[in-house]
Structure 1
Amino acid sequence: MSKDHIQNKIRMLRFLKGEMTQQQLGDEVGVTRQTVAAIESGKYSPTLQLAFRIANVFDVTLDEVFKYDPLNDQFKKKK
């Protein structure tokens, strides 16, 4: 299932934090490197708690990391 309706800037934020690795981010938020890779690539949506942990690592707000695109959401409200 594609998660195209939820986009993230994790890769860019890792780059701006001195090329932080996926492993380092995973260690800081309590998940595996594979989970970080899946979130980054849009194959997995994190729990709300994990999303907040990720934002906290980068000292940014949740909406600076994740963006919801309702136009690509198959469950969007019909008008």
Structure 2
Amino acid sequence: MGEKGCLSNRIRILRAEQKMTQQDLAKKVGVSRQTIISTEKGNYTPSLVLAFEIANVFNVGINDVFHYEKKEEWL
């Protein structure tokens, strides 16, 4: 038996609340717009530092942006 997790995020929602574009967020945290797009879609897992930087932009805790759910997987 192995374990696999799923990381979800609220970046799109938080951006909309602050009327911020993907490009705006990318500039504030020093990454490309494509990185923000991929992160929002769940195709890219950000580093811990980037995750904290994103949370800081929105002035919220990291748990208010990202949620990790551990799922068990039978081999």
TM class by shorter chain equals 0.7 to 0.9
Runs of 4+ in 1 over 6 A off after TM superposition: none
Bigger relative contact order, structure 1 or 2 (CA pairs below 8 A, ≥6 apart): 2
Structure 2, gaps ≥5 residues long: none
Residue of structure 2 equivalent to 1:25 = 25
Higher strand share: 2
**Partner deviation per Cα, 1:23-52 (whole Å, 9 max, x = no partner):** 000000000100000000000000000000
Residue of structure 2 equivalent to 1:36 = 36
Offset of 1:58 from its aligned partner? Answer: 0.1
In 2, Cα distance between equivalents of 1:53 and 1:68: 17
If the length of structure 1 is used for normalisation, what is the TM-score?
0.83
How many aligned positions are there? 70
Residue of structure 1 equivalent to 2:16 = 15
3-state SS of 2:55 partner? helix
Residue of structure 1 equivalent to 2:48 = 48
**Partner deviation per Cα, 1:51-79 (whole Å, 9 max, x = no partner):** 000000000000000000102x65xxx8x
Residue of structure 2 equivalent to 1:62 = 62
Structure 1, gaps ≥5 residues long: none
Offset of 1:10 from its aligned partner? Answer: 0.1
Q: Pairwise CA RMSD of aligned residues?
A: 1.7
If the length of structure 2 is used for normalisation, what is the TM-score?
0.87
Q: Which amino acid aligns with 2:6?
A: H
